[in-house]
Structure 1
Amino acid sequence: MTKILYFNTVVGTFYIAQGMQGKYYPMYEDERFDAYDNMFDAIEALAYDTSFTLMHPEMGDPLDPTDLGVPDDISGWKVCEGVPD
């Protein structure tokens, strides 16, 4: 699993990672979600899908990526360089 894009929020970092079979995965910190055929679908899933169950690692409260400003366009993300997998 290789993290290729990231977006920082006040509660932690979201990633788009690519698996060994070429699928793309939205991630929050080290938690991986559903696989997508392309990175654009993975980005849109994080930006619009309210079905992800995320818990704040310190507070234990549920998080909704749609409320955290996760961008739906690749231009809002940064390329991972030197980010450990």
Structure 2
Amino acid sequence: MSGVDARVFAREEQTMLDTRYAEARSEIERNRLIENGQSGALMFAALAYGDALEENSLFRTASHLAKLFCIAAVFIIPNLLVLHVLL
């Protein structure tokens, strides 16, 4: 391989690597923007949830009952699983 061929090959390889780098960089930037948007939406949802709890007593009661149900499920389901598997 002559020096000219090596330079042409190196230039093609560099072009390919530059293209790959640009694509990867744009994908990383896109994912960063998506994650920033998701964090903003999460903050908005938390604030909206708090406002809804203050305004609506039915929603507050339903939320409290759902919390109690989840706590009860955490304590009851493992016990039922142990009873089912061991007995």
TM normalised by structure 2 equals 0.17
Q: Which has the higher strand share?
A: 1
Structure with greater helix share of residues: 2
- Structure having greater relative contact order (Cα 8 Å, sep ≥ 6): 1
Larger Rg: 2
TM-score normalised over the length of structure 1: 0.17
